[in-house]
Structure 1
């Protein structure tokens, strides 16, 4: 039998929704999306009506799509094939300039371009930070290295995976650096540690995952410069990521595999024996969270036990979509052989 919950929560703030919406309408220029046709994939997302209000209030012609009263499992890091195909269909059917959505609880964004191709969250995070004029950026070690290669930021700090680590990193940066401090995760959730003042508007700090700021920043950035959303991403260095996981792989077993591959006294021999035929010689390793290996060809294999499930995760990075898909598939086969 469940215990009766204690009445320890504060009173409901009925104005919270309107305050949150006004936060963005006060910051972004009036009618900054006027004439832009945006598809809003609503599914069962709790923020769908808020997003519609924000986008339409900024002048966008919003086409509401795929609304559902039943839960739809949208994952911004593992986009379902039907959502990939549906986005492509919708942009052609309705002549959309972009398509946007969130995960179910609306703290992780999805931004798709005029071709219906969804941007990876760690690319959207970089573009959002660029638009906001962020000086010091914090992101987990698993995020795309485009954040360093683009050279848009005064400093980039890498952390363990998880928003608490990003928040701690932002707090440290804000205490020692001047300028705007923000962070993002590979899932696209964006965290703002310090206030942003631009174009006569002000955006107060919100150091928790937010999806709306990413969506609106990318749309305004593209539309305000008469560019396509795809052109924003294309302007960044060509780095692509892919990830997958082996389920029912005990955490202790995962750690044993990583320890077998590398320790300070044994060097890179074991790593190269497993992955050398794929990527060549090891250039460096990072032990911030799991084992992140950078090879001489600048490809990355990042191995990590899941923090909340018996799963072994593998993140990869390469210079082309086809190569990173091939690399991730090959790595997953190797990991399957360790079970």
Structure 2
């Protein structure tokens, strides 16, 4: 049980650690937690496209049913957001999702999603961890039922209601990277009228021998395909399709910060409300909000914090620079499937490249950057403590105006640029982020941040 730790987004581990016995222990802990909190509604158990995921999902379903809960299991591997939406759509007590997201195939994971469809907050995951124990099933005549259900169809219908998009005349290239978005995101785009050209939409639990991570280096083929087919844009999802990456004809890989900016600007054309962004996400969001008389709420990294703030502030949009976004009227969970449809809605009205050009002309150039330094988890707290004493009055020739300390140290500079140094929540690394008005300035800031941190490691 000591090997089971719920981190930023559930428990993930390599398959030598992520065993069936331990998965069953998690199932028992969730059953106990649901009982303690007065839940007796059905529980959803979803799973991604990894080879081992259906078996782990079966084990979780068996434990939950053995504790008296009726269990709903999707008909196939499916995106995390379709499971999260299914909780609310079917009035479930919550869901367990078997996924390791963008990790390579030798990993798997499981996360609990509460009854509101938003990511579990620490008090929930800590309670589950405290309840970890060997399974203890009820007599067979008290077991719940296990039933297959469709979670993809209801999610698609809801996405069409939200986006109301006519994509007739658009050509979109979709890259599933062999993940659970295949046959879901592409089908949604097609049902809205788009011509969809598919890449890596065959089922392959090895993800083509790599990781289902929609990063620039993994999407070079998508960039080429968009240009080869004269497509309006390209879209990719990570392994469980809760994140999105977008490719445009002119820019190639569209930085997630810029996608967030055009999304917020598009939503403000027909609605109003604040935006929620995590601490490393672009200040371009703030400039757009200010121009519309709206506010921006800043959160620590982790979509659970974005989701919480979206609920508290009735936000129009919420997002992170890592490609996770949601909008008002939807579940407060990042959704790469819905975002693909919204990208199509935006492109149908004005090309994504033109939207970005217009925003940058109106609000000024922004250039984000990020680098990482190796730092063992055991050393992160000490490094941050030491860093607090080393923070300078100026960075790369600009005076420090303010230091934000909600997640590491974000140093705001006089010229509007910023530098952020924070520990990764998922890897033994320390991240250095920066944003400025030119690529050269970003590199100066990243170098300055690295020089501050490296002597402390």
TM-score normalised per structure 2? 0.62
Indicate if the aligned counterparts of 2:185 and 2:340 stay in contact, CA closer than 8 A: no
Tell me how far apart the structure 2 counterparts of residues 216 and 279 of structure 1 sit (CA, whole Å): 43
| Unaligned 5+ runs, structure 2 | 1-18, 25-58, 74-147
Q: Counterparts of 1:195-210 in structure 2 under 5 Å?
A: 195=329, 205-210=330-335
Distance 1:92 1:309, change over 3 A: closer
Aligned counterpart, 2:337? 212
Is 1:10 matched with 2:146? no
SS at match of 2:183: helix
Is 1:271 matched with 2:391? yes
Is 1:234 matched with 2:360? no
Distance 1:252 1:216, change over 3 A: same
SS at match of 1:272: coil
Indicate if the aligned counterparts of 2:367 and 2:436 stay in contact, CA closer than 8 A: yes
Point out 4+ residue stretches in structure 1 off by more than 6 angstroms.
none
Indicate if the aligned counterparts of 1:140 and 1:162 stay in contact, CA closer than 8 A: yes
Aligned counterpart, 1:119? 254
Indicate if the aligned counterparts of 1:41 and 1:64 stay in contact, CA closer than 8 A: yes
SS at match of 2:332: strand
Tell me by how many angstroms 1:329 deviates: 4.7
> Would you say how many aligned residue pairs link Structure 1 and Structure 2?
309
Q: Which of 239, 247, 251 is the matching residue for 1:104?
A: 239
Over aligned residues, Cα RMSD in angstroms? Answer: 2.5
Q: Counterparts of 1:63-142 in structure 2 under 5 Å?
A: 63-67=197-201, 69=204, 70-71=206-207, 72-76=210-214, 79-83=215-219, 85-115=220-250, 117-132=252-267, 133-142=271-280
Tell me by how many angstroms 1:35 deviates: 1.1
Deviations 1:59-101 (A, max 9, x none): 111111234513242435xx24252x32332222211111111
Tell me how far apart the structure 2 counterparts of residues 219 and 250 of structure 1 sit (CA, whole Å): 42
Indicate if the aligned counterparts of 1:99 and 1:113 stay in contact, CA closer than 8 A: yes
SS at match of 1:47: coil
Is 1:294 matched with 2:412? yes
Tell me how far apart the structure 2 counterparts of residues 66 and 11 of structure 1 sit (CA, whole Å): 29
Q: Which has the larger radius of gyration?
A: 2
SS at match of 1:288: coil
Indicate if the aligned counterparts of 2:264 and 2:285 stay in contact, CA closer than 8 A: no
Deviations 1:241-284 (A, max 9, x none): 1112112x134544434333436xxxxxx4337x63x2422111
TM-score normalised per structure 1? 0.82
Tell me by how many angstroms 1:148 deviates: 0.4
Indicate if the aligned counterparts of 2:410 and 2:421 stay in contact, CA closer than 8 A: yes
| Unaligned 5+ runs, structure 1 | 175-179, 196-204, 264-269
Distance 1:116 1:295, change over 3 A: closer
Tell me how far apart the structure 1 counterparts of residues 272 and 241 of structure 2 sit (CA, whole Å): 23
Aligned counterpart, 1:166? 306
Tell me how far apart the structure 2 counterparts of residues 325 and 115 of structure 1 sit (CA, whole Å): 23
Distance 1:231 1:153, change over 3 A: farther
Q: Counterparts of 1:171-182 in structure 2 under 5 Å?
A: 171-174=311-314, 181-182=316-317
Tell me by how many angstroms 1:134 deviates: 4.5
Tell me how far apart the structure 2 counterparts of residues 290 and 235 of structure 1 sit (CA, whole Å): 33
Tell me by how many angstroms 1:112 deviates: 1.2
Tell me how far apart the structure 1 counterparts of residues 251 and 223 of structure 2 sit (CA, whole Å): 4
Is 1:183 matched with 2:318? yes
Deviations 1:296-326 (A, max 9, x none): 2222110001223321111111112343245
Aligned counterpart, 1:324? 442
Deviations 1:149-191 (A, max 9, x none): 12346221111111221122122213xxxxx543112222123
Aligned counterpart, 2:388? 262
Tell me by how many angstroms 1:338 deviates: 3.1
Indicate if the aligned counterparts of 1:38 and 1:63 stay in contact, CA closer than 8 A: yes
Instruction: Select between 94-103 and 215-224 the one with higher mean Cα deviation.
Output: 215-224
Tell me by how many angstroms 1:58 deviates: 1.4
Indicate if the aligned counterparts of 1:240 and 1:321 stay in contact, CA closer than 8 A: yes
